[in-house]
Structure 1
Amino acid sequence: MSEEGFREHDLDLFGLFANQVADAAVNSSLFSRLRESEEKYRSFVEQAIDGIVIIQDGRIVFANRAAANLGGYALDDLVGMGFQDLVAPEFRDGVLDRYRRRMAGQQVSSVYETKIVARDGEEIDVELNAGIIQYQGRAADLVFLRDIAERKRAEEELQTRTYDLGERVKELNCLYGVLKLMSEPTRSLEEVFQRVVRLIPHSWQYPDIACARITFEGRGFKTDNFNETSWKQSADIRVSGEKVGSVDVCYLQERPVAHEGPFLKEEMVLINALAGEIGVFTERKRAEEALRESEELYRTLVNSAEEGICLVDSDERFLFVNPKLANLVGYDQEELIGRSLLELVPSDEVEFIRSESRRRMKGETSRYETTLIHKNGTPRKVLVNAAPIYDAEGQLYATLGVLTDITDLKKVEDELRLRLIYQTAFAQIMNRAIGIENLDTFIQACLEILGNALD
């Protein structure tokens, strides 16, 4: 026996027992950690939002609750199901081909979109993410299934909105092009209509089969490919409330029904807007033409008038003079523009002219005579009819003056006045001559009569 009182054989047994106890303790700790790890990952799998399935030999051998809920299946019904039965028929061949190639070790896409069949037969859009793992000692396909129905709806809505936005951009470009054409003052109605009709088809949903025509007061403007078909959209052109034509868009081939036949609701809004703009443009062009004709008429009347006509501002500076007035004072029209009227008036009449201008500030018209000095220094007597002119805001803009040259008339008046004086004096002398008694007295009386007449 040893010093401790145990045989050597007993010590060996004790050592072996101690090792077994130590191994058991280690294994127990390892098992506990493994169980904790398993519980952690099991909890992760069970609480995952995405569906998770494991496939072996083409059948589902494991599925989490999210996978069952995704298709409305009971968990027991899903486990054991052939994976191909879960996939929508139109995608089944492609999914199975990827599965077989992946299990064979070939390189295939691990993430792609497909559809699965729910228990009620509804097809659900999913994103599938697959990879090879070892499950229970054998290779298996671990598949994550993510419901992307909302994402697909959002993508489709985005595509629709993007398409609609593109259509609205086309429509705005059309309106912009039309308004730009209509803003160019040198273009005639006919030229604008022909250019507008070429812009229209590009703004419709199917521009490659669209054609357009504008009819206006019996005249037609159309695209080269225009052919009136049953797929037609029209809007009336109205001027001053009366129909004078129309805008027509036709499709040369049938297209799916939309809001009005194959046409969109927005296209009806656009064609009405185009017809409206054409009507407004026509009214404006006609008004401009009438204004030009009226302006030309009045310009002709003013420039050919026998009276001098002018506009002067509040500082008595000429804004406009007609040829007659320029000729009256011996200046060119350009020389008088910006020049003061007071420079052409004798100094002793300046204050009188200013007083007349103050009457215009009060809104009064007046008629008076004054003198203008010709460029060569000779005076010209004129009769002035003056009236205030107001701007659009009701503010005094200028004085309109119509001047009649009365220089020759004043000479005739002076001659007639002098002749009348002489005739009156002669009559008085003749009356004195009757019954004359003293020649000296008669001569003295005649001298007095002539002196009074000359005064």
Structure 2
Amino acid sequence: DLGNKQWDIPKLRELLETILPQKTTFDNYEVEHDFTTIGRRIMLLNARQIKRVSGKERIILLAIEDITERKRLEYELLRTKEENFGDVFNNAGDGILLVDMESKKFYMGNLAICQMLGYSPAEIKDLGVMDIHPEKDLPYIIDQFEKLAKGEFSLSQDLPLKRKDGTVFYADLSAAYITFAGKKYLMGFFHDITERKRAEEALRKSEEKYRNILENMQEGYFELDLAGNFTFVNDAECRNMGCPREELIGMNNRQYQDETTAQKTYQLFTELYRTGEPVKASDIEITRRNGAKSFNEISVSLIRDAEGKPIGFRGISRDITEHRRAEEALRESEELFRSYLEYAPDGIYMNDLEGNFLYGNHKCEEIIGYRREELIGKNFLELNILSENSLNKAGLLLQANMEGKSTGPDEIDLISKEGRLIPVEINTNVVQRMGQRIVLAFVRNITERKQAEEERKQSFVRLRKALGATVQAISMTVEMKDPYTSGHQRRVSDLARSIATEMGLSADRRDFIRTASSIHDIGKIAAPSEILSKPTKLTDLEFNLIKTHAQSGYDILKDIEFPWPVADVVLQHHERMDGSGYPRGLKGDDILLEARIMAVADVVESMASHRPYRPALGIEAALKEIEKNKGILYDDIVADACLRLFQEKSYQLK
């Protein structure tokens, strides 16, 4: 019933016009008024001034509580005779306590206060003021109690109360003196304000959320009065305008727009005011404080008061300066792109998803010998420009394009207008053009590259043959020096390559192992022939001299440019997994895999074959050695592969 009639209530008008301009807050202000529909009411007002971000506009937040019933109850209790006191006391809606002023103990409490605190009427009588408030708040409570007792005020707000279970709630307290049973008591009326506190907290959170949204949104937000002056702006709007908030507030659009834009803005806002319908506008040019020009896109609606009367405008703005620059750059880019299409070093053509030509550049004409006029609108199949062996691949590429996929690089053969076969490399992308999906293809004539690849291939074959012959010559040189081990390197090479195959190594690594194994004992060239062919057991000195062959082989091979680290494998082929090998005592994975394979093949062949100082031990003894020491001296994976060759696949040394 209060509506917008605040100014019709004298006491309320006094608060708004006289008291609040001097104070930012005012509490416990009682106002009485006769309302048309609900009659005479007593209201308790608490007022707060809320400072808006603009610094100029202020809002007054009024918390209004109807205390008519409380006042009536206080009056009834004060005037009721003692014999009727109990009925009124216990039926009151607010909690009531009678406090002995001397002891600060409770004489009695009504049912409402018992329910609020969670005590029975009998338990209440054993309590005092100190028992129903949180301990940390007791100094404040005592101060309030003493002021109430002295009559300095009759109402204390937001008092914390502690229930029997320890939970805390808040209440407003009003007090008055009464004489009951011949004794003077302070009678306190407790009004539970839990719901009011929740409402205030919800209001605070809502206001905080509103401000956070406005201040953290990427778009600018602004409010204007009806004259077009800024009354509020968020940080993003300050950035859009290139001006601090304190300068923007109160500024009119004519201060940052030229005459043409200002007139356009005026017409826009006039239309909004006339129709009430939100409006949008793009390309609103403004001049920032530093003189730079920028463009904003805005959406604006009316601000109305409680009665629906327009009182201002609110809007969202977005700086589109970079967007405009991007559009301009795009136009320039499109022109450059068209120029590139025409004069690109590669052929470029476009076709639809059915294979019909839409465009071809100069290079495309040059590659296949057709003028673009002969291509446009025709299908690949109709033109007969695909070789027979490329038809299937071209169909797969088009199918991928129909599924929205890019392809390439792929090689196909085209047939020129003159009938020549032209190998080309093609890459395709599916793009949007005028609302239609089309294929943009890049074609490169790779005839010269194909010829160069064939020449390199032939050269590589010749080089590999020469390398093989060189390795064979080196191997024969070693065997000529040590005829008793004739064929040893070849047999080690064959076995090592077979082990690599059993392990699933690539063809290139198998060739690497075969090559290194074929010359793994080349270092023996440096050893005296009489030691190599000595028919009796070698002395320690002689054996140590033989052990240098791994290092000697490395020194011979290290400067030869093999496609693989052959010298390193030759150096490591006597290393062992546990570090007991030579010449460096390497362990585990520090030894190249190819050297680990060669080590197993070398041991098997050596034990199975005749030596000047002993007869052949046989393949069974060799395999037992590998089985016994796999994972210790020899790589277990390599050893298992070797054992499978002999035991499961009938491999034989030849």
TM-score bracket relative to the smaller structure? 0.3 to 0.5
Considering only CA atoms, is the larger Rg found in Structure 1 or Structure 2? Answer: 1
The TM-score with structure 2 as length reference comes to 0.24
The TM-score with structure 1 as length reference comes to 0.33
